[in-house]
Amino acid sequence: GLVANAPHVPVHLGAMSETIKWQLNHWQNNLKDGDVVCTNHPSAGGSHLPDITVITPVFSAVENNSETQKILFFVASRAHHADVGGKTPGSMPPFSTRLNEEGAAILSLKLVEHGTFQEQLIRDLLNAPSSIPGCSGARRIADNLSDLKAQIAANQKGIHLLRELVETYTLPIVHAYMYHVQRNAAEAVRNMLCHLSLKYGLDEVGTLSAHDFMDDGTMINLSVAIDRKERKCTFDFSGSGAQVEGNWNAPKAITMAAVIYCLRCLVDDEIPLNQGCLEPVSVIIPKHSILDPDDGYAVVGGNVMTSQRITDVIFRAFRSVAASQGCMNNLTFGNESFGMYETIGGGCGAGPSWNGTSGIQVHMTNTRITDVEILERRYPVIVREFGIRHGSGGSGMFTGGDGLVRSIEFRSPMVVSICSERRGRYLPFGMNGGGCGAAGKNLLTRNSRNHIGHGRKHESELDQENITAVDIGGKSSVQVQAGDKITILTPGGGGWGIAQSGSAEDYGGR
């Protein structure tokens, strides 16, 4: 099981154990020293296709002239690649319904075999989507290759550090402490479950429950049964909506990542996130549902949208924090020669003793947005506005964090795509009487000069006319021309408690 990981991007790392288990079962005894495996397939413990996982087995030393080596550990790195092909630049097509529209799918590949980097094999796989009508292969394969080599190097650093540990403390002691770290995490989760069961006045076997909806009305439903005597619990997602003909299906590994992340957040003790957190926990995920779709269904949005809704529902069940912005506000733009991808922060939900933070990524990601200066230098865009969306956080005794406003003007023709949630009637909920956060909006403003010859008479009239922004919805892909502008207003977080000055409002307006 997972022993340790870096303290960031829980949606990546929390699912890593599922990936390793699948690959180990797939390769059996056919992995050798000098091999490195890569994968990104949802059915193999992956999240969505841009997230490529590179796995390196760590073997024992050869002893007594024996040719047999045992795998002692695995080290792995998962990275989001800016483009892996598919229907749109950035490999985040808003309207994909099938997995093969979202880019190159790699079930399992020996990226390095006997110490040799298999460049042609990975090139062929990254180019494969070009054979699908309306799709392209990876648009910057050189960047993919560089990133994969960086992941291999990161794994080698991990192997070096592991071997230093073994040399210093011996293998039995290292294995023992890995076991102890996981047992300690399991005990911390057991204590937390018992504490919350008593705090909320549950029976010896009691239940906490919650639900919420995606923007299309698909339900995420959860019942958590806590057994105080056995010191364990069951997360049951039965009743969640069926898999959808859209891309916000979430592979099973995503739900597992959300569960382990939330459990770690609920534990007060200083413990590293590891597989031990799941030892006292059973998880029921209905097959053919939005949380465990069949092979071939589109999933690119499950990683960046549904994962955040699962997290909100878990925290709602445990009565711990109001809803945050509820998605990662995924923006991609580019053409046949490049693809740019970024996520935009929003408002964090408030808690029983704190205000939500404004303009931040929360929960399943904490990635940093590209600096404006770098973005404008490397891509044909101008950032016209980037700041706090004041008043978008939910009201309450403790107020939800405000979202952000990010407005980008394009200097050349390209395709712009947005995948986002919390744009409809299902707002980021407040808790204990707190108000909801404001919904997000995605606005497109066309450059008036691009409309000459379309029913208008004089360029002077166009210069003076106020072109109205158009709401393009939560999921959209548009062709833009030079001078066109997209403005993303991200959701605020929910508030906590009734404001002392009066009742909490439905949303926003602090």
Listing DSSP states for 455-487 in one string gives S---HHHHHHS-PPPEE--SEEEEEE-TT-EEE
Note the pTM of the prediction, 2 decimals.
Answer: 0.90
Query: Which residue matches tokens 């207003």?
Result: 489
Task: For the chain, give every domain's residue range.
Answer: 10-169, 195-320, 321-510
The pLDDT assigned to 452 comes to 43
Q: In what order do the strands lie in the sheet with 36-39?
A: 71-80, 51-59, 36-39, 109-113, 116-117
Tokens of 253: 């590994």
The pLDDT assigned to 169 comes to 96
The pLDDT assigned to 64 comes to 53
pLDDT in tens, 339-390: 888 999 999 999 999 999 999 999 998 888 989 999 999 999 999 999 999 9
The pLDDT assigned to 460 comes to 40
> What percentage of the chain reaches a pLDDT higher than 70?
93
Q: Rounded to whole angstroms, how far apart are CA atoms 303 and 243?
A: 14
Query: Which residue matches tokens 């099973």?
Result: 252
pLDDT in tens, 227-237: 999 999 999 99
The pLDDT assigned to 335 comes to 86
* CA 127, 297, 12, 346 torsion-angle sign: positive
The pLDDT assigned to 450 comes to 62
Q: Rounded to whole angstroms, how far apart are CA atoms 374 and 385?
A: 15
Tokens of 128: 């494969």
pLDDT in tens, 74-100: 999 999 998 999 998 888 888 999 999
* CA 418, 423, 236, 314 torsion-angle sign: positive
Instruction: Report residue 63's pLDDT band, with 50, 70 and 90 as the boundaries.
Output: low
Query: Which residue matches tokens 């062929």?
Result: 124
pLDDT at 455 over 50: no
pLDDT at 456 over 80: no
pLDDT at 161 over 90: yes
pLDDT in tens, 386-414: 999 999 999 999 999 999 999 999 999 99
| Distance set, CA 375 to CA 246, 292, 342, 371, 394 (Å) | 30, 36, 10, 6, 31
pLDDT (average), residues 102-129: 96
